[in-house]
Copies of this chain bind each other. A is one copy, B any other.
Amino acid sequence: MIVSRARPLVVGDAFGHAACAECDARTVSVCDALDTADLSRLAAVAAQRSLEKGRVFIEEGEKAADFFNITAGTVKLFKLLPDGRQQITGFAGPGYFLGLAVGETYAFSAEAIEPVRLCRFSRPRLYALMHDLPALEARLLQTACNELVTAQEQMLLLGRKTARERVASFLLLRAAAAAPCSHRQTEIRLPMTRAEIADYLGLTIETISRVLSRFRADKRIDLPTPDRVILTDRPWLEDLAAGNLEHV
């Protein structure tokens, strides 16, 4: 449930740019790399869309025709095996740039797990713009490197961490993702279901639930509702996530 915040009415100097001026994701997205004039050019090739929860808007193997920039809500990025096994490779919130694909087709699928708003860019148009705006290309490279680092961290988690370490890492990751909004908060919101957490961490629903219950019993976290978590012992969680404990 995204709070639909009241937005100030802004009269833009260019079509589309008005939307950028009031965009919540403006300062944390690739758009931040551009000055006002160039942002207008970017906005000119963008189209805004709203997606209801559950909507799949990228399908693995489809022709990669568009890039996306999330401005509100959360999406999951995932890959499937023929028998239905699912691996979620990441959750993308406001500011996330999406669609960096090699070759002609998407390598993953994407689904809105909440109501989502996003900007859509046609691939050839964005490429053309990249050619003109080195700052944009540099920013995308930077974004890709960030993702790469995140992906490597996730491989360590999936390949070598225990269930408890994975869940601790996940909670801290969520806290970090929410941090830019209001610093040092101990309470986090989980917009995804247990099944989605499980598919992200390479575990099962039951294991997620059990580990969270155990954390609560040990007074490391609190769970007022299933989708709200309060980190009551963050140092301990950090040690666990880093692999410093695991004899406890």
Interface set of A (CB-CB < 8 Å, partner B): 77, 79, 81-83, 85-87, 89, 100-102, 107-108, 130-131, 134, 137-138, 140-142, 144-149, 151-156, 158-161, 199, 201-202, 242-244, 246
Can you identify 22 A-B contacts, CB atoms within 8 angstroms? A79-B152, A81-B242, A81-B243, A82-B242, A85-B160, A85-B161, A89-B152, A89-B156, A100-B144, A100-B145, A102-B142, A102-B146, A107-B153, A134-B137, A137-B137, A141-B141, A148-B151, A151-B151, A151-B152, A158-B159, A159-B201, A159-B202
Interface of A is mostly: helix
Give the shortest distance, in Å, between A245 (CB) and chain B (any CB): 10
Question: B160 to A108, Cβ gap below 8 A?
Answer: no
With A107-B148, A137-B138 already in contact, 17 other A-B pairs whose C-beta atoms are closer than 8 Å: A79-B152, A79-B156, A82-B242, A85-B160, A86-B160, A100-B148, A102-B142, A102-B146, A107-B152, A108-B152, A130-B138, A134-B134, A137-B137, A140-B141, A144-B144, A151-B152, A160-B202
Give the shortest distance, in Å, between A170 (CB) and chain B (any CB): 13
